[in-house]
Structure 1
Amino acid sequence: MASLSRILTTLIITGHTLAGALDGHIGRQISTIDRSSLNGKLFVGYQAWFRKPFEDNGNSHWTTDKPTPEVGHVGVDMIPNVTGYPTECLFNTAFTLPDGNPAQFYTNHCEGVVDLHFKMMADYGISGAFIQRFYGYINEAHGGWVDILGYAKAAAEKYGRGFAIEYDLNGAATSSTNITDTFLTDLAALGSITSSPAYMNHNGKPILEIWGFGIVNGVTARDGLAIVTALKDAGCYVILGVQQAWHAELVEDRPDGFGPVYRLADMIQPWTVGAYGIDNYDDFHDGRQAVEDASALRDLGIESSIVVWPGGSSSNANPNEAFDRFPRWNGSFYERQLRGAVDLKPSFIFGAMFDEVNEGTAIFPVLRNKELPVNQRFLGIDDDMEPDTYLKLAGDYASRLASQWL
């Protein structure tokens, strides 16, 4: 099969680990995963957008409206446990820990951080990551995004993981840009990334995910048709991350609706973060996921991916939102969703997210409640939990899903 970069170029021309819990953990899946198929795998979404203040003149994503993460101006609700992170990748913050030391944050624009994150995935049996690439940052001159993609590629190859690019439509607008051309041009420039032996394929084609149709208001259905058609014509296997009530568009079938776009997809991945809490998850699973989504996908002949998430909170970035809006219930909320997803045997499970501390959905190690700063409100995991609890849960259910595909 021709490489993704060659296909796209032709098309364009022609038209330290965590102390204690992690150090003592025995690797669950050291061998290289099969990169030719998504079936039976659990991948995580990887934001990889955290940077040191003033680095690359870009948004650090640790903060909202200040260049440095200050008290009252932080943009994350959870703080990563940086035990074992390379010291050169860390910086002190204004947040004071109970022992009097400053809390430290990391920068993704440091290869050791990305390497460590992929090592965690390998150690716990997570298949790899869908690397988020936000439309609004594609042309960022000093963003380091391509560097970070390179770090991810090297780490995936090193630890036998897989990776794929997931374009996020946030920042895109039909009225001001040619989105299709932007994607094709960007992908052609990323040939050294997508040609990696660690880059994921499915059904003989390189994978691309586009997230946000029906969610990002600035992108029309007509643009959606053009984008998906062009990517499929370029030989890609196209996954669409869509609104959780996506099948309603099929029923209504409005001229300006996204039904025709969804019908073009090779795989549909309904975005369910925030769609339910622990009290109504079972109803959502038994009705929406197991019946409505499954029926619509079966009728369309489209494969499926199910999103799972541990809980959510983004009140520091969004002061009007309730703190700890979607509680984690000591891991039981996440485990219930993992069990429900495995029971439905999707092509693969998408874990939202590996490192999303902005919205409190991260599954990598974060600080416990007793370890949190004393001068700013943050959300921690329960004090009786090990830092790697959510990684263990993801790995356990990854194994269960894989066994169904043997």
Structure 2
Amino acid sequence: MACVLMELHNSSAANDRSHNMEFRKMVLAGYQGWFATPRNRLLRRWSHWSRSGEPRRGSSAIELYPDVREYPADALARTGYANLGQGGVTRLFDSDHEGVLDLHVRWMQDYGLNGVALQRFVVGIAEERGEWRNSVASHLKLASERRGRTFYIMYDISGHDGHNLAELMLRDYRTTIRDDLKLPASESYARQGDRPVVAIWGFGFKNRKGTPEHAERVIRELREVHGCYVVGGVPYDWRRNETPEGRRWLKVYKRFDMVIPWAVGRYRDPAQVAEHANTIWAPDKAYCEAEGIDLKRVIFPGFAWSNLKSNQRNAPERALSRHMEDTPSAPQNAIPRLAGEFFWAQAFHVAKLQTSAFIAMFDEFDEATAIAKAAEDRRMIPTDQYFLTLDADGTRVSSDFYLRLAGEATRMIEGRLSLTDKVPIDTVPDPDAVAREVQITHGFRGILGRDPDPGGRATYRAHFASGGTMLEFCEALVNSMEFRQNRSALKPEEWPDVLYKKILEREPDPRGRQHTEDEVRNGRLAHRTAVMLDSDEFHSRFLGFV
């Protein structure tokens, strides 16, 4: 069995292509990172979870309730809601926490997501939020570097009064983003060719104060002075607005290197998606190709904001919403997720048109567009407040369903999965199969120092499904040609740090360090790895929520 596995591994590894993709072809998600609790070391108060003060019945500013079971305990703060339906107090997380950012980026890594665009609201740059947002950006940078993910900055002009808008944005990029935080210098920062990517969302939208002159100055300086590849988050009808103002803005949009037309709320079911793909998306693509502009399409899992809308009169964050102007009413479950069918229909038509995509959003619990782990049903939300749950359309799905689906959508849009109009994954995966997927991932990271390629994952998935053992899996990795070429030079005393950090994601304790070193010296690296992957500690840390 081990010999057969080794041959299959060598074959799949030889055929694997490294995933070093151009930015313009890379699927990425938006990332807010804007939630705060009294534990926040800078704000020391709640932000975005409620309209003001402690989250409690009737004050919620979010629609979709997060699944917080995997978050670090010291990143969670108790709310004023009643207990969860399944029992236990209600807690919510703080975005400005290294462990929270690392968890989110670990999910991106585990589920095959490339990374995110960090939203940076210009209105908060010069306020108390500025330092907080800088801290979140630094945490994201470190987590992305640690886990091999991509990130970039997306400015958002929502809520700004327009005064000195261009100067404020350019100074922030020059002094804070480039010089102080040194984000574009990171190996994980998105680049198109050798040009760092910077996006700007909001120019030309209704009730946004930026002018064409603001936009032209920002685009020109970012491109000509800083050498950036500049992306514009533009209105959905960006090239179809025939008013004099619309034609003026179109001239501005043509100066962007890429446009991302904002689509949230523009269609509500798979049939409408198909219609828009034919009547709007395809002509958009033809126009962009003729004008030499790159294009990404926004895809989103669903939308609702009944809690936020009901509280908008007093909600301090209402000005930061991208949709407040577009929706006259706010029913619960306004655009149903349909157990992934709505999201997948968008991904299918994007892939069919051979364009790329921007996923809205990773952590937008406010307007229920988040793909991050969320409450599956009423057991996982407070008993005294309405929240949307993932089973709202009558189908039970796992809390990680949309992360799994986004990973598959990424593969299909990037051409690594055959085109299909059917949702390709189970709504609730087999727990044993999920556990094996996690163990395969950590086994590859520990022994080979990388994530499994699709061919390798399929090989070992079949191995375990047919009754293969963990030891045989580890022996196949250790005996592979890839290991001999890339990892065999590691010394026994180096392996404890490698295995503990990659498999258990912690530093080795003295006893564990000595035992691991002894095992490697005795030719039992595979055995030691198998024991770690099957250990109670591994199951508790990584499989406790399967």
Q: TM-score range by the shorter chain?
A: 0.7 to 0.9
SS of equivalent to 2:336: coil
Q: Is the 8 A contact 1:33 1:162 kept in 2?
A: no
The structure 2 residue matched to 1:158, chosen from 139, 146, 151, is: 146
The answer for the alignment partner of 1:50 in structure 2 is 35
Is 1:280 paired with 2:272? Answer: yes
SS at match of 1:339: helix
Pair 387,54 (structure 1): closer, same or farther in 2 beyond 3 Å: closer
Contact 1:210 1:240 in 2 (8 A): yes
Q: By how many angstroms is 1:116 displaced?
A: 0.5
Per-residue CA distance 1:280-325 (angstroms, 9 max, x = gap): 221111111012x122212211010111000001111102511111
User: Match for 1:147: what amino acid?
Assistant: S
Aligned to 1:106: 93
- 1:131 and 2:118 are equivalent in the alignment: yes
Question: 1:375 & 1:76 partners in 2: Cα distance?
Answer: 14
Structure-2 separation of matches of 1:394 and 1:255: 33
Runs of 4+ in 1 over 6 A off after TM superposition: none
Alpha-carbon distance in 2 for matches of 1:280, 1:255: 25
Q: Which amino acid aligns with 2:340?
A: G
- Structure 2 counterpart of 1:340, one-letter code: H
Hey, what's the Cα distance between the residues in 2 that align with 1:297 and 1:255? Answer: 17
Q: Out of 165-174 and 349-358, give the one that drifted further.
A: 165-174
Aligned equivalents of 1:247 and 1:105: distance in 2? Answer: 41
Structure 2: which amino acid aligns with 1:61? H
2:525 paired residue number: none
Q: 1:336 aligned to 2:322?
A: no
**Number of residue equivalences:** 369
The answer as to 2:395 corresponding to 1:392 is: no
Write the distance in 2 (CA, Å) between the matches of 1:404 and 1:262.
31
Structure-1 separation of matches of 2:192 and 2:154: 15
State the AA in 1 paired with 2:364.
E
Instruction: Determine the C-alpha separation between the residues in 2 that align with 1:309 and 1:89.
Output: 27
**TM-score scaled by length of structure 2:** 0.65
Q: Distance in 1 between matches of 2:46 and 2:171?
A: 24
Question: How far, CA to CA, are the matches of 2:399 and 2:361 in structure 1?
Answer: 16
* 1:4 paired residue number: none
**1:361 is matched with which residue?**
369
Q: Secondary structure at the match of 2:366?
A: coil
Match of 2:22 in 1: 37
Alignment partners' CA distance in 2, 1:161 and 1:386 = 24
The answer on 1:218 being equivalent to 2:246 is no
TM-score scaled to structure 1, two decimals? 0.86
Counterpart selection for 2:239 from 227, 239, 247:
247
Q: Is the 8 A contact 1:311 1:327 kept in 2?
A: yes
CA distance in 1 between counterparts of 2:222 and 2:168 reads 12
Q: Tell me how far apart the structure 2 counterparts of residues 45 and 103 of structure 1 sit (CA, whole Å).
A: 26
User: Which structure ranks higher in relative contact order (CA pairs < 8 Å, sequence separation ≥ 6)?
Assistant: 1
| Structure 2 residue aligned with 1:167 | 155
Give how far 1:159 is off.
0.6
Q: How far did residue 100 of structure 1 move?
A: 3.3
CA distance in 2, matches of 1:254, 1:48: 33
**Max radius of gyration: which structure?**
2
Identical-residue share of aligned pairs (%): 30
Letter in 2 for 1:308: I
**1:253 Cα deviation (Å)?**
5.3
Work out whether residues 156 and 202 of structure 2, in 8 Å CA contact, stay in contact via their aligned partners in 1: yes
Displacement of 1:59: 5.9
User: Cα offset for 1:395?
Assistant: 0.8
Is residue 223–residue 229 contact of structure 2 (8 Å, CA) maintained in 1?
Answer: yes
